[in-house]
Structure 1
Amino acid sequence: MKKHILFDHDGVLVDTEFWYYKAGERALADIGLTLDKARYLRDMSRGLGTWAQARAAGIDEQTISRQRVVRDDYYRDYLRTAAIEIEGVVETLAELSTYARMAIVTTAKRADFDLIHEKRTIRQFMDFVLVREDYQFAKPHPEPYLTGLKRLGASREETLVVEDSARGLNSAVAAGIDCAIVHNEFTKAQDFSRARYRIETLNELKGIILDMT
């Protein structure tokens, strides 16, 4: 029986993946580089991301550090202005909250998370939120989800993780927790063979939870 749900955040509860990519694209364009999207997606699945292409092009670490700050500024501008809601998420969370305790375990920085949810209602359904500053090792390390389990006071068997990336899935698997992968255009080509469930939208979680009761 699943009594608890640990949600990833970006790409699962809000549609931010595209805008993170666009921010990196702009930051590299500022120094004369074109961010190849296909390679970016491959690099992201391996935990590398934007700066792998910069390093491959011979860009020095000082410049990368400077442009990382620029990228983060661009990203926050997008978070303030872009439409990042995923249709049906709030309604689904409201319904799920009658069946399970829920929390968010994200690699997002606290400043970005707070900016996203300044005027949104998702947090009201969550017992707590763990952001990148709340644990030492990022996904795919199991620490984020093990920390979530500890905060919930829950067993692995009672808990379901909801993710959209291979890194997140591997974190859940390493923590010994069943994982449902929700479809995301940005991560759809990643290896999800270890996922317990594959779903198109969060609305399908109700069926998973009720089938286990």
Structure 2
Amino acid sequence: MTSTLGHLDTLNIDNILKLTESKKAILFDMDGTILNSECLHFEAIHLITQKQSPYTIDDLYGLADTDVYPLISKYMSHDLDNFLKAKNDLMLDLIPATDPNTIIKPEMQKLLKLLNESGKTLAVVTASEDVITHSLLDHCGVSKYFKLVVTRQDTVLSKPHPAPYQYALKVLKIDKKNSLIFEDSPTGLQAAKASGIDTFQVSWYEHK
């Protein structure tokens, strides 16, 4: 297990380029790290529960949908599979109706472009559903920068287990000493630390 190397509350491109200079693979969480998309997930859940759930965005922050379901199941009639389908359907309506500029910082778009051009191998490692992950990345125009996208469907165990990050390195064939993670949520940070990969905690997006 490793500890975080530091906490970044500002998306400073020059600083991040220096921090990543010695690494080959840069692994990004998606919701709250690449994108300010936690609010869309929360809105979909809010609609599914007909606004009956007492949970706030902070309560559900960084949790996979399979972990959210037990918390909110009594506020809906859906079983897990129907909940996942209903949430995905709502997200697929919400995403195209949302201005990409409210989801991604221009600095993030520039950072990904520069990292890609410098020869870094970029990957997304997220607990989000596959269809939602690709829809969000495509909508924000950044899919082209990532060699690999790991979603909830790719590993049996999701965050906070390190399996998604371990799977990413296995597919990329890059060892952990040459890799770096950017993560924001407690769940994601737990997974990142357990993977043994150097990690920076970020809070450059407000999720409230």
User: Partner of 2:52 in structure 1?
Assistant: 33
Partners in 1 of 2:29 and 2:62 — Cα distance?
A: 15
1:70 aligns with 2:111: no
Give the stretch that moved more between structures: 42-51 or 12-21: 42-51
Q: After superposition, what is the alpha-carbon deviation per residue over 1:53-88, rounded to whole angstroms, capped at 9, x for unaligned?
A: 443x6x6664x6545433332222111111222232
Match of 2:132 among 97, 112, 116: 112
What CA deviation, in whole Å up to 9, does each residue of 1:14-51 have, x standing for no partner? 2210011011111111xx614431xx523546764365
Which stretch of the first structure deviates more once superposed, 122-131 or 165-174?
Answer: 122-131
Query: What residue is the counterpart of 1:198 in the other structure?
Result: none
CA contact (8 A) 1:27 1:71 kept: yes
- Kindly tell me: are residues 96 and 115 of structure 1, through their superposed partners in 2, closer, same or farther at Cα, counting changes over 3 Å? same
Quickly say closer, same or farther: Cα 1:174–1:114, change in 2 above 3 A. Answer: same
Tell me what 1:100 maps to.
120
Once residues 87 and 113 of structure 1 are traced to their aligned partners in structure 2, the CA distance between those partners, rounded to angstroms, is 19
* Correspondence 1:8 to 2:19: no
Count of residue correspondences = 180
Distance in 1 (alpha carbons) for counterparts of 2:124 and 2:155:
13
Which residue does the alignment assign to 2:164? 144
2:207 corresponds to: 186
**Is the CA contact 2:122–2:145 (under 8 Å) kept in the aligned structure 1?**
yes
Report the Cα distance in structure 1 between the residues aligned to 2:135 and 2:60, rounded to whole angstroms: 26
Q: Within 1, Cα distance between the matches of 2:115 and 2:167?
A: 22
Q: Look at both structures and tell me which one has the larger radius of gyration over its CA atoms.
A: 1
Structure 2 unpaired stretches of 5+: 1-21
Say if 1:149 and 1:68 are closer, same or farther in 2 by CA, change over 3 A. Answer: closer
Of all paired residues, the percent bearing the same amino acid is 24
The 8 Å contact of residues 162 and 192 in structure 2, kept in 1 or not, is answered as yes
Instruction: Verify the 8 A CA contact 1:41 1:49 in the aligned structure 2.
Output: no
How is 1:41-52 mapped onto 2 (pairs within 5 angstroms)? Answer: 41-44=58-61, 48-49=67-68, 51-52=70-71
Tell me how far apart the structure 2 counterparts of residues 104 and 68 of structure 1 sit (CA, whole Å): 21
Structure 1: stretches of 5+ with no match in the other structure: 188-213
Q: Which residue does the alignment assign to 1:89? A: 108
Q: Is the 8 A contact 1:135 1:144 kept in 2?
A: yes
CA contact (8 A) 1:28 1:67 kept: no
Instruction: Specify which of 45, 54, 58 is matched with residue 24 of structure 1.
Output: 45
Q: Which amino acid aligns with 1:2?
A: K
Contact 1:3/1:158 (8 A) holds in 2: yes
